[in-house]
Structure 1
Amino acid sequence: MVLTNLLKHLRFHFVKQKPQLIYPFQDSIRTINFLTFQSYILSHNRIKKKSSLFDINKAILQHPAGSEAQTSPKMEGQIARRRFAMMILLSVLLATSSSASASSPEVFVKKTISSHQIVIFSKSYCPYCRRAKEVFKELNQAPHVIELDERDDGWNIQDALSGIVGRRTVPQVFINGKHIGGSDDTVEAYQNGELAKLLGIDSTDRDDL
Protein backbone atom coordinates (compact mmCIF):
# COMPACT_ATOMS: atom_id res chain seq x y z
CA MET A 1 0.00 0.00 0.00
CA VAL A 2 2.79 2.44 0.91
CA LEU A 3 4.67 1.58 -2.26
CA THR A 4 1.55 1.96 -4.44
CA ASN A 5 0.76 5.36 -2.94
CA LEU A 6 4.34 6.50 -3.50
CA LEU A 7 4.22 5.42 -7.12
CA LYS A 8 1.02 7.45 -7.60
CA HIS A 9 2.64 10.40 -5.85
CA LEU A 10 5.67 10.27 -8.09
CA ARG A 11 3.52 10.00 -11.18
CA PHE A 12 1.51 13.08 -10.17
CA HIS A 13 4.52 15.27 -9.44
CA PHE A 14 7.09 14.12 -11.96
CA VAL A 15 5.11 12.75 -14.91
CA LYS A 16 2.37 15.35 -15.40
CA GLN A 17 2.41 15.53 -19.19
CA LYS A 18 3.12 11.96 -20.27
CA PRO A 19 2.60 8.62 -18.46
CA GLN A 20 6.30 7.75 -18.58
CA LEU A 21 9.42 7.88 -16.44
CA ILE A 22 12.66 9.09 -18.02
CA TYR A 23 15.49 7.43 -16.18
CA PRO A 24 19.14 8.40 -16.99
CA PHE A 25 21.86 5.78 -16.87
CA GLN A 26 25.37 5.92 -18.36
CA ASP A 27 24.76 8.83 -20.80
CA SER A 28 21.48 7.44 -22.10
CA ILE A 29 17.87 7.64 -21.05
CA ARG A 30 15.41 4.81 -20.77
CA THR A 31 11.78 5.76 -21.38
CA ILE A 32 9.51 3.38 -19.44
CA ASN A 33 5.73 3.37 -19.50
CA PHE A 34 4.75 4.17 -15.91
CA LEU A 35 1.98 1.62 -15.47
CA THR A 36 4.06 -1.13 -17.05
CA PHE A 37 6.98 -0.18 -14.79
CA GLN A 38 4.75 -0.27 -11.69
CA SER A 39 3.40 -3.72 -12.60
CA TYR A 40 6.91 -4.98 -13.35
CA ILE A 41 8.29 -3.81 -9.99
CA LEU A 42 5.39 -5.20 -7.95
CA SER A 43 4.84 -8.55 -9.64
CA HIS A 44 8.21 -9.89 -10.86
CA ASN A 45 10.81 -11.80 -8.92
CA ARG A 46 13.88 -9.99 -10.26
CA ILE A 47 14.05 -7.76 -7.18
CA LYS A 48 14.76 -9.98 -4.19
CA LYS A 49 14.78 -9.06 -0.49
CA LYS A 50 18.54 -8.46 -0.40
CA SER A 51 18.89 -6.77 -3.79
CA SER A 52 21.17 -3.74 -3.90
CA LEU A 53 20.26 -0.49 -5.64
CA PHE A 54 22.57 -1.54 -8.48
CA ASP A 55 20.62 -4.80 -8.91
CA ILE A 56 17.33 -2.89 -9.02
CA ASN A 57 18.71 -0.36 -11.53
CA LYS A 58 19.83 -3.25 -13.70
CA ALA A 59 16.40 -4.88 -13.49
CA ILE A 60 14.72 -1.62 -14.53
CA LEU A 61 17.04 -1.17 -17.50
CA GLN A 62 16.31 -4.74 -18.61
CA HIS A 63 12.58 -4.03 -18.71
CA PRO A 64 11.25 -4.81 -22.23
CA ALA A 65 9.51 -1.42 -22.47
CA GLY A 66 12.85 0.39 -22.12
CA SER A 67 14.16 2.33 -25.12
CA GLU A 68 16.92 4.82 -25.62
CA ALA A 69 16.13 8.48 -26.09
CA GLN A 70 18.14 11.61 -26.68
CA THR A 71 18.61 14.34 -24.09
CA SER A 72 17.77 18.00 -24.75
CA PRO A 73 18.45 21.17 -22.75
CA LYS A 74 14.80 21.48 -21.77
CA MET A 75 14.80 17.99 -20.29
CA GLU A 76 17.79 18.43 -17.96
CA GLY A 77 15.75 19.78 -15.02
CA GLN A 78 13.10 17.09 -15.43
CA ILE A 79 15.78 14.41 -15.62
CA ALA A 80 17.38 15.57 -12.38
CA ARG A 81 14.03 15.59 -10.56
CA ARG A 82 13.05 12.20 -11.92
CA ARG A 83 16.43 10.72 -11.01
CA PHE A 84 15.90 11.92 -7.44
CA ALA A 85 12.36 10.52 -7.45
CA MET A 86 13.58 7.16 -8.69
CA MET A 87 16.19 6.96 -5.93
CA ILE A 88 13.45 7.62 -3.36
CA LEU A 89 11.31 4.92 -4.94
CA LEU A 90 14.14 2.38 -4.92
CA SER A 91 14.94 3.19 -1.29
CA VAL A 92 11.31 2.59 -0.33
CA LEU A 93 11.33 -0.72 -2.20
CA LEU A 94 14.28 -1.92 -0.15
CA ALA A 95 12.83 -0.59 3.10
CA THR A 96 9.49 -2.27 2.41
CA SER A 97 11.23 -5.58 1.73
CA SER A 98 13.22 -5.30 4.97
CA SER A 99 10.11 -4.39 6.93
CA ALA A 100 8.27 -7.45 5.61
CA SER A 101 11.16 -9.66 6.67
CA ALA A 102 11.28 -8.06 10.12
CA SER A 103 7.57 -8.68 10.68
CA SER A 104 7.65 -12.42 9.92
CA PRO A 105 5.57 -14.76 12.13
CA GLU A 106 8.69 -16.27 13.75
CA VAL A 107 9.97 -12.81 14.70
CA PHE A 108 6.54 -11.93 16.06
CA VAL A 109 6.45 -15.06 18.25
CA LYS A 110 9.94 -14.50 19.65
CA LYS A 111 9.33 -10.82 20.28
CA THR A 112 6.03 -11.53 22.04
CA ILE A 113 7.61 -14.15 24.29
CA SER A 114 10.48 -11.84 25.25
CA SER A 115 8.23 -8.81 25.84
CA HIS A 116 5.79 -10.29 28.36
CA GLN A 117 6.17 -12.20 31.60
CA ILE A 118 3.37 -14.65 30.82
CA VAL A 119 2.33 -15.50 27.28
CA ILE A 120 -0.35 -17.94 26.16
CA PHE A 121 -0.80 -18.81 22.50
CA SER A 122 -4.42 -19.88 22.49
CA LYS A 123 -7.64 -20.31 20.54
CA SER A 124 -10.74 -18.74 22.00
CA TYR A 125 -12.95 -21.82 21.60
CA CYS A 126 -10.42 -24.34 22.94
CA PRO A 127 -11.32 -25.91 26.35
CA TYR A 128 -7.67 -26.77 27.04
CA CYS A 129 -6.74 -23.13 26.50
CA ARG A 130 -9.45 -22.04 28.94
CA ARG A 131 -8.04 -24.48 31.46
CA ALA A 132 -4.56 -22.99 31.13
CA LYS A 133 -5.96 -19.48 31.53
CA GLU A 134 -7.79 -20.55 34.67
CA VAL A 135 -4.46 -21.51 36.25
CA PHE A 136 -3.23 -17.94 36.07
CA LYS A 137 -6.58 -16.63 37.25
CA GLU A 138 -6.10 -18.72 40.40
CA LEU A 139 -2.68 -17.14 40.82
CA ASN A 140 -4.11 -13.63 40.28
CA GLN A 141 -1.91 -13.17 37.23
CA ALA A 142 -2.92 -11.62 33.90
CA PRO A 143 -1.20 -13.39 31.00
CA HIS A 144 -0.71 -11.86 27.57
CA VAL A 145 -2.97 -14.00 25.39
CA ILE A 146 -2.66 -14.39 21.62
CA GLU A 147 -5.93 -15.81 20.28
CA LEU A 148 -4.77 -17.38 17.02
CA ASP A 149 -8.29 -17.95 15.69
CA GLU A 150 -9.03 -14.23 15.93
CA ARG A 151 -6.05 -13.15 13.80
CA ASP A 152 -5.69 -13.19 10.02
CA ASP A 153 -2.12 -14.42 10.44
CA GLY A 154 -3.00 -16.93 13.16
CA TRP A 155 -2.23 -19.95 11.00
CA ASN A 156 1.21 -18.59 10.11
CA ILE A 157 1.93 -17.79 13.75
CA GLN A 158 0.94 -21.32 14.72
CA ASP A 159 3.32 -22.72 12.09
CA ALA A 160 6.13 -20.53 13.43
CA LEU A 161 5.32 -21.57 16.99
CA SER A 162 5.48 -25.21 15.95
CA GLY A 163 8.95 -24.66 14.53
CA ILE A 164 10.11 -23.12 17.82
CA VAL A 165 8.60 -25.52 20.40
CA GLY A 166 8.12 -28.64 18.27
CA ARG A 167 4.36 -28.74 18.87
CA ARG A 168 1.48 -27.41 16.82
CA THR A 169 -1.20 -27.81 19.49
CA VAL A 170 -2.57 -25.04 21.70
CA PRO A 171 -2.25 -23.72 24.27
CA GLN A 172 1.46 -23.06 24.42
CA VAL A 173 2.50 -21.25 27.60
CA PHE A 174 5.66 -19.24 28.29
CA ILE A 175 6.83 -17.64 31.55
CA ASN A 176 9.77 -15.23 31.54
CA GLY A 177 10.74 -16.57 28.12
CA LYS A 178 10.70 -20.21 29.31
CA HIS A 179 8.44 -22.66 27.52
CA ILE A 180 6.15 -24.33 30.07
CA GLY A 181 4.16 -26.43 27.60
CA GLY A 182 0.51 -27.11 27.01
CA SER A 183 -2.54 -27.35 29.25
CA ASP A 184 -1.50 -30.46 31.21
CA ASP A 185 2.06 -29.16 31.64
CA THR A 186 0.76 -25.84 32.95
CA VAL A 187 -1.64 -27.43 35.42
CA GLU A 188 1.09 -29.77 36.67
CA ALA A 189 3.51 -26.87 37.13
CA TYR A 190 0.79 -25.00 39.03
CA GLN A 191 0.09 -27.92 41.35
CA ASN A 192 3.73 -28.64 42.16
CA GLY A 193 4.50 -24.99 42.82
CA GLU A 194 6.83 -24.43 39.87
CA LEU A 195 4.65 -21.71 38.33
CA ALA A 196 4.53 -19.75 41.58
CA LYS A 197 8.30 -20.09 41.89
CA LEU A 198 8.87 -18.82 38.35
CA LEU A 199 6.53 -15.90 38.99
CA GLY A 200 7.96 -15.16 42.43
CA ILE A 201 4.64 -15.35 44.25
CA ASP A 202 3.24 -17.21 47.28
CA SER A 203 2.38 -20.80 46.36
CA THR A 204 0.13 -21.60 49.35
CA ASP A 205 -3.59 -22.34 49.21
CA ARG A 206 -3.56 -23.78 45.69
CA ASP A 207 -6.76 -25.31 44.39
CA ASP A 208 -6.80 -28.45 42.25
CA LEU A 209 -7.99 -27.85 38.71
Structure 2
Amino acid sequence: MSSTRQTIENNIFNHPIMIYSKTDCPHSSSAKSAARDLGIEFQVEELDRIADGESIQSELEQITGQKSIPNIFVRGEHIGGCDEFLKGIDSGMIQRLLSN
Protein backbone atom coordinates (compact mmCIF):
# COMPACT_ATOMS: atom_id res chain seq x y z
CA MET A 1 0.00 0.00 0.00
CA SER A 2 1.34 3.43 -0.92
CA SER A 3 2.03 5.97 1.80
CA THR A 4 -0.52 8.31 0.16
CA ARG A 5 -3.23 5.65 0.36
CA GLN A 6 -2.27 4.86 3.96
CA THR A 7 -2.51 8.56 4.89
CA ILE A 8 -5.95 8.79 3.25
CA GLU A 9 -7.19 5.67 5.04
CA ASN A 10 -5.88 6.94 8.38
CA ASN A 11 -7.71 10.24 7.85
CA ILE A 12 -10.93 8.53 6.76
CA PHE A 13 -11.05 6.18 9.73
CA ASN A 14 -9.77 8.57 12.42
CA HIS A 15 -12.28 11.39 11.85
CA PRO A 16 -16.09 11.18 12.04
CA ILE A 17 -16.31 13.40 8.95
CA MET A 18 -13.40 13.75 6.52
CA ILE A 19 -13.68 16.30 3.72
CA TYR A 20 -11.12 16.54 0.94
CA SER A 21 -11.57 20.07 -0.35
CA LYS A 22 -10.08 22.99 -2.25
CA THR A 23 -10.16 26.51 -0.86
CA ASP A 24 -11.58 28.11 -4.02
CA CYS A 25 -14.33 25.53 -4.62
CA PRO A 26 -17.89 26.74 -3.85
CA HIS A 27 -19.14 23.14 -3.46
CA SER A 28 -16.40 22.52 -0.90
CA SER A 29 -17.41 25.68 0.99
CA SER A 30 -21.05 24.52 1.05
CA ALA A 31 -20.09 21.08 2.35
CA LYS A 32 -17.87 22.54 5.10
CA SER A 33 -20.64 24.93 6.12
CA ALA A 34 -23.15 22.06 6.30
CA ALA A 35 -20.71 20.00 8.39
CA ARG A 36 -20.24 22.95 10.77
CA ASP A 37 -24.02 23.25 11.08
CA LEU A 38 -24.19 19.61 12.23
CA GLY A 39 -22.07 20.56 15.22
CA ILE A 40 -19.88 17.48 14.76
CA GLU A 41 -16.10 17.60 14.66
CA PHE A 42 -14.80 17.23 11.13
CA GLN A 43 -11.43 17.25 9.44
CA VAL A 44 -10.63 19.08 6.21
CA GLU A 45 -7.68 18.52 3.91
CA GLU A 46 -7.32 21.49 1.55
CA LEU A 47 -5.71 19.83 -1.45
CA ASP A 48 -4.66 23.12 -3.04
CA ARG A 49 -2.71 24.06 0.11
CA ILE A 50 -0.54 20.98 0.54
CA ALA A 51 2.44 19.77 -1.48
CA ASP A 52 1.01 16.31 -2.20
CA GLY A 53 -2.53 17.52 -2.91
CA GLU A 54 -2.51 16.33 -6.53
CA SER A 55 -1.33 12.84 -5.60
CA ILE A 56 -3.97 12.65 -2.85
CA GLN A 57 -6.70 13.69 -5.30
CA SER A 58 -5.47 11.10 -7.81
CA GLU A 59 -5.45 8.38 -5.14
CA LEU A 60 -8.95 9.40 -3.99
CA GLU A 61 -10.15 8.97 -7.58
CA GLN A 62 -8.68 5.46 -7.65
CA ILE A 63 -10.31 4.59 -4.31
CA THR A 64 -13.74 6.12 -4.97
CA GLY A 65 -14.08 6.58 -8.72
CA GLN A 66 -14.92 10.24 -8.03
CA LYS A 67 -12.88 12.90 -9.84
CA SER A 68 -14.56 15.94 -8.30
CA ILE A 69 -13.98 17.81 -5.07
CA PRO A 70 -15.19 17.81 -2.35
CA ASN A 71 -14.78 14.14 -1.62
CA ILE A 72 -16.51 13.33 1.67
CA PHE A 73 -16.37 10.37 4.05
CA VAL A 74 -18.49 9.80 7.15
CA ARG A 75 -17.41 7.15 9.67
CA GLY A 76 -15.18 5.62 7.02
CA GLU A 77 -17.95 5.40 4.41
CA HIS A 78 -17.59 7.28 1.14
CA ILE A 79 -20.56 9.65 0.77
CA GLY A 80 -19.58 11.40 -2.46
CA GLY A 81 -19.56 15.12 -3.14
CA CYS A 82 -21.46 18.10 -1.80
CA ASP A 83 -24.83 17.18 -3.34
CA GLU A 84 -24.76 13.67 -1.88
CA PHE A 85 -23.65 15.01 1.51
CA LEU A 86 -26.46 17.59 1.61
CA LYS A 87 -29.04 14.99 0.53
CA GLY A 88 -27.70 12.66 3.24
CA ILE A 89 -28.16 15.39 5.85
CA ASP A 90 -31.69 16.16 4.62
CA SER A 91 -32.67 12.47 4.74
CA GLY A 92 -31.06 11.92 8.16
CA MET A 93 -28.62 9.34 6.77
CA ILE A 94 -25.52 11.34 7.79
CA GLN A 95 -26.83 11.80 11.32
CA ARG A 96 -27.54 8.04 11.58
CA LEU A 97 -24.01 7.22 10.44
CA LEU A 98 -22.58 9.64 12.99
CA SER A 99 -24.65 8.21 15.84
CA ASN A 100 -23.31 4.67 15.29
TM-score band, normalised by the shorter chain? Answer: over 0.9
Deviation at 1:159, TM superposition (A): 0.5
Residues 1:148 and 2:47 aligned together: yes
1:166-205 alignment to 2 at 5 Å? 166-200=65-99
Structure 2 residue 1 is matched with structure 1 residue 105: no
Distance 2:5 2:58 in 1: 9
CA drift of 1:142 comes to: 2.5
Runs of 4+ in 1 over 4 A off after TM superposition: none
Matching residue's letter, 1:110 = E
> What CA distance in whole angstroms lies between the structure 1 residues aligned with 2:22 and 2:98?
24
Aligned partners of 1:159 and 1:169: how far apart in 2?
10
TM-score of the pair, normalised by structure 2: 0.93
What TM-score does the superposition give when structure 1 sets the normalisation length?
A: 0.46
- Deviation, 1:149, is 0.3
| 2:68 partner SS | coil
Q: Which has the larger radius of gyration?
A: 1
Match of 1:123 in 2: 22
Identity of aligned residues (%): 34
- 1:160 alignment partner AA: E
Structure 1: distance between partners of 2:10 and 2:99 = 23
Aligned alpha-carbon RMSD (Å):
1.5
Matches within 5 A, 1:1-209: 104-200=3-99
Letter in 2 for 1:158: Q
Q: Is the 8 A contact 2:16 2:41 kept in 1?
A: no
Cα distance in 2 for partners of 1:167, 1:137 equals 23
| Structure with bigger RCO (C-alpha 8 Å, 6+ apart) | 2
Q: Post-superposition shift, 1:182?
A: 0.3
SS in 1 for 2:79: strand
State the partner residue of 1:41.
Answer: none
Q: Mind listing any 5+ residue stretches in structure 1 that lack a counterpart?
A: 1-100, 202-209
Q: Which 5+ residue runs of structure 2 have no aligned equivalent?
A: none
How many residues in Structure 1 have an aligned counterpart in Structure 2?
A: 100
Deviation of 1:163 (Å): 0.4
